[in-house]
Structure 1
Amino acid sequence: MRLAETIRARLAAAADPSRAPGMQAYMKSAMPYLGVSAVPLRQICKTIFADLRFETAGHWQAEVLAIWRGAGFREERYAAIELTGLRAARAFQRFDVLPMYEELIVTGAWWDYVDAIAAHRLLPILRSDGATMRQAMLAWAVDADMWKRRSAILCQLDAKGQTDLDLLYACIAPLIGSKEFFLRKAIGWALRHYARIDPAEVARYVDEHPELSNLSRREALKHIAG
């Protein structure tokens, strides 16, 4: 049985149809849910993916996209995202896989998918192919697609003390006056994460940028005393 078929069968077997409508309503999702919550979903993925090995990045990407593109339920796409973070795929997290992540972001087009990819999958590429990825994120920050713009802001969320502040601020700059909730929230979220490392720098940045929305400002300063 192909990997995509195995995932679909195991998720269907674990489904709780009574939970599905509430999950779909909460996520405001056009795609239906099976009714599999996060913990059992991750356990199913862990079990199925445990012994997977991929000869090439192309093979790994093909499996991810087969699950993603063929999905009839939202949990199946969550499984595809789990597969992108597999330990066996760490060596493949280079710039040439960015088009796959771009497809997932653009076609997923909602915060649950996008944030999982932007916050946890783009940084390894930035670390392995810095200059090229930096230019790509600067281009994404002004892209017509709002979810790519959000991803550019969030791509260093896990970077901590290794955050490239010039890149972060450059990705925020063209969006700083946006009225789009998801962009305002992303700006505040990214700044709040960096405030854990250097609260004085974030306070300085916020103070020097009165054009930040109230939402971005509030999120950025959330854990800064005074």
Structure 2
Amino acid sequence: MDPKDTVDTRDVGEPVGALVRAARAGLAELGDPEKATEMRRYMKSEMPFRGVPKPERAGLARRLFAAHPLPDAGTWAATIRTLWRTAEFREERYLAIDLSGHRAYAGWQGTGMLPVYEEMIVTGAWWDFVDEVAIRRVGPLLRAAPETLTPMLRGWAVDEDLWRRRTAVICQIGAKDKTDTELLTDTIESTVSTPDGLDFFIRKGIGWALRDYSKTDPDWVRAFVTAHPALSPLSVREALRRLPARTD
């Protein structure tokens, strides 16, 4: 999916514009320039920060979403996209992700939101955005609609975009016994075979996904690692980190 054109909040109706303006004003009020510099340095971000730590941002989100209820799924999606596309500070995009997972709108989650989440993944293009969307948005959709998501994720595993590939690998983190191990195998094998399959974020993501599943089925993970000698040392180390060393 190609990145969409920027949306100007002057061109969107209420209540979309009202929530977006309130979000910006709230972040500006809570912002701390010293923290902003530190946060930007830590995240290696080209986009500046306001300097609002997660606890304060979470409190702001609760107040914002309670004060600006959205009437329908279309308005909800439009507000998420507007917050995301017009963001000048990184925390505005964090709020867009928070809004996409707000419990009041859980009934509107569905495959129709995939274009929104895909846009966040491709244009966010960094782990702080992508991992939250992959695990907490794409993952639940996979479990709810495997007939749609499974072939899509197999395609993402060999996509030219690094962050689609990482999403394909890590999106089942937290699924426990609902993990589709065939899909996990396919996405890891496909991703490793891509030209930059040794990219740090791919190697780390593979290890993370396997380590998480090792809490559910350690024997499966041990067998997988043994059967895949092409896995990088980082992936193997991460995959086996929670497992005791064998004595046999």
| TM bracket (short chain) | over 0.9
Check the 8 A contact 1:33/1:73 in 2, yes or no.
Answer: yes
1:208 corresponding residue in structure 2:
227
Check the 8 A contact 1:54/1:88 in 2, yes or no.
Answer: no
- Structure 1 outlier segments of 4+, above 6 Å: none
Residue 44 of structure 2 corresponds to residue 28 of structure 1: yes
CA distance in 2, matches of 1:51, 1:196: 40
Check the 8 A contact 2:143/2:178 in 1, yes or no.
Answer: no
Deviation at 1:52, TM superposition (A): 5.1
CA distance in 2, matches of 1:145, 1:195: 27
Deviation at 1:54, TM superposition (A): 3.7
Identify unmatched segments of 5+ residues in structure 1.
Answer: none
CA distance in 1, matches of 2:228, 2:82: 44
Q: Deviations over 1:76-125 (max 9, x none)?
A: 11011000111122122211110100101111100100001001111221
Identify unmatched segments of 5+ residues in structure 2.
Answer: 1-16
**Aligned with 1:109 (options 114, 122, 125):** 125
Q: Deviations over 1:34-84 (max 9, x none)?
A: 111111011110121136544432111101011111110001110110001
Check the 8 A contact 2:19/2:68 in 1, yes or no.
Answer: no
2:141 corresponding residue in structure 1:
125
Q: Please report the RMSD computed on the Cα atoms of aligned residues, expressed in angstroms.
A: 1.2
Secondary structure at the aligned position of 1:31 is classed as: coil
Secondary structure at the aligned position of 2:34 is classed as: coil
Residue 202 of structure 2 corresponds to residue 183 of structure 1: yes
Secondary structure at the aligned position of 2:77 is classed as: helix
- TM-score in terms of structure 1 length: 0.97
2:26 corresponding residue in structure 1:
10
- Higher deviation after alignment, 171-180 or 68-77: 171-180
| Equivalent residues in 2 for 1:156-167, closer than 5 Å | 156-167=172-183
Instruction: Give the counterpart letter for 1:16 in structure 2.
Output: D
Check the 8 A contact 1:119/1:157 in 2, yes or no.
Answer: yes
Deviation at 1:154, TM superposition (A): 1.0
Number of matched pairs:
226
| Equivalent residues in 2 for 1:87-106, closer than 5 Å | 87-106=103-122
1:19 corresponding residue in structure 2:
35
Deviation at 1:140, TM superposition (A): 0.8
Check the 8 A contact 1:52/1:88 in 2, yes or no.
Answer: no
**Aligned with 1:60 (options 55, 68, 76):** 76
Check the 8 A contact 2:97/2:133 in 1, yes or no.
Answer: yes
- TM-score in terms of structure 2 length: 0.88
1:150 corresponding residue in structure 2:
166
1:194 corresponding residue in structure 2:
213
CA distance in 2, matches of 1:125, 1:93: 8
Q: Deviations over 1:5-34 (max 9, x none)?
A: 000100100001111111101100000011
CA distance in 2, matches of 1:54, 1:46: 14
Check the 8 A contact 1:94/1:124 in 2, yes or no.
Answer: no
